[in-house]
Amino acid sequence: MSTFQAPKGTYDLLPPRSASFLAVREAISAPLRNSGYGYVETPGFENVELFSRGVGESTDIVSKEMYTLTTKGGDELALRPEGTASVLRAALQGNLHKLGGLPVKLWYSGSYYRYERAQKGRYRHFSQVGAEAIGAEDPALDAELIILADQAYRSLGLRNFRILLNSLGDKECRPVYREALQDFLRGLDLDEDTVRRAEINPLRVLDDKRDDVQKQLVGAPMLRDYLCDACKAYHEEVRALITAAGVAFEDDEKLVRGLDYYTRTTFEFVHDGLGSQSAVGGGGRYDGLSEMIGGPALPSVGWALGVDRTVLALEAEGVTLDIPAATSVFAVALGEEARRVLFATVTELRRAGVAADFSFGGKGLKGAMKDANRSGARFTVVAGERDLAEGVVQLKDMESGEQTPVAVADVVETVRAKLA
């Protein structure tokens, strides 16, 4: 008999490994929640045009990797391949930019979908935590987001990651560079797809990972030589603020990232323990995206960090996360009367805020104690007919092995005191 499998390139997140993913999400979002970022959640699918306009038709994401569908009503939708365009669309639709002071600072967490060649660290369904600061052009915002990501990674115990930093210029200076780069690229021996990409967005060619393309790019004009004075000053301030915060970074003149909407600051977090899929996250400034999707001018900056990639990076470094046991108390009932009494005790413990579980399935003492051990509970409450006749249960400390009788009425109070 055949059973269904998860679709190719996807995965199921199951205990106990899923606890690591939750811990990573929590660690990445904690500095954001502590810095004025409010939570936003958007649909898993959006209008196709939101991404083709915002992310860019020349990108692999839109041209090759987007999951699209046509609804019964004829609407063209896409499973979201990234978070920024959706979050900006939601902020505009909700008029958040009109409700008070800018920037609007938002964070989000969710699943994203791209039709990619499936391999370790590169799935067709992946999880990210992201942050966007919408509506302000300020180098301190760019620096804040980079520093918060660094803080999140370090709080997890991650050490062997690097921050790559670049500036892509703005609408004043980038067109001049774009023309110079296109002139250079026209003299190279490139395949048809790459030639087409060079005409739409030549900066994307710099991001091409193929060796034969990279070899030909030696001697290509560098963007830093074309930055206008305003972009240079802006970039220098970002660098100075990050440096003053004690956060190390590397200048990477070829860093362009895979999305068309970036302007000025762009950055990437890479981990050398992950092989070819070394990027664990990244982001940058996207000052023109709001206008691209029909909104007013709202200069903004943001990033997204991959939860899957971060877990792999932690594993590559051998970092074990300190994840507390999900259960504090496990109840083992021997006999029908004990089952009734202890089930009520477990319910009381839970209402008192104590994580408690119960030995289901009517197992004997040996099987139930195995379940108690597996649960990781600090205490086990055991009761049989003789115990209940005396009005007590046995409270066993699973660390020391010490067992003491406790009156049924005092279990909740006793357990809370011991856990405190």
**Domain contains 215:** no
Q: Are residues 92 and 234 in the same domain?
A: yes
| pLDDT digits 0-9 by tens, 71-91 | 999 999 999 999 999 999 999
Return the percent helix, strand and coil in the chain, to nearest 5: 40, 20, 40
Which residue stretches of 332-397 are H helix? 336-351, 365-375, 385-389
The CATH number covering residue 301 comes to 3.30.930.10
Least confident of 90-94, 178-182, 415-419: 178-182
Q: Are residues 27 and 142 in the same domain?
A: yes
pLDDT of residue 175: 87
Task: Give the domain extent around 108.
Answer: 17-173+227-317
**Domain contains 247:** yes
Q: Are residues 336 and 312 in the same domain?
A: no
Residue 230 vs residues 41, 143, 254, 263, 331: alpha-carbon distances, Å: 35, 17, 20, 13, 67
* Average pLDDT for the chain: 92
Q: Are residues 306 and 359 in the same domain?
A: no
Q: Are residues 262 and 373 in the same domain?
A: no
pLDDT-derived band at 259 (thresholds 50, 70, 90) equals low
Q: Which is more confident, 158 or 275?
A: 158
Helix (H, G, I), strand (E, B) or coil at 349: helix
Q: Which is more confident, 118 or 73?
A: 73
Q: Are residues 313 and 366 in the same domain?
A: no
Domain boundary residue among 292, 317, 342?
A: 317
Instruction: Spell out the residues 6+ positions from residue 310 whose beta carbon is closer than 8 angstroms to its own.
Output: 24, 28, 153, 156, 158, 280, 281
pLDDT(141) > 80: yes
For the entire predicted model, the pTM comes to 0.89
Q: Are residues 165 and 263 in the same domain?
A: yes
Domain boundary residue among 317, 342, 364?
A: 317
**Domain contains 219:** no
From the CA atom positions of the chain, what is the Rg in Å?
27
Q: Which residues pair with 394 in a beta bridge?
A: 382, 405
**Domain contains 148:** yes
**Domain contains 184:** no
**Domain contains 182:** no
Structural domain tally of the chain? 2
DSSP class per residue in 171-231:
TTTHHHHHHHHHHHHTTS---HHHHHHHHH-THHHHT---HHHHHHTTTPPPGGGT--HHH
| pLDDT digits 0-9 by tens, 359-384 | 999 889 999 999 999 999 999 999 99
What gap in Å lies between CA 316 and CA 277, rounded to an integer? 13
**Domain contains 216:** no
Q: Are residues 147 and 25 in the same domain?
A: yes
The CATH number covering residue 414 comes to 3.40.50.800
**Domain contains 185:** no
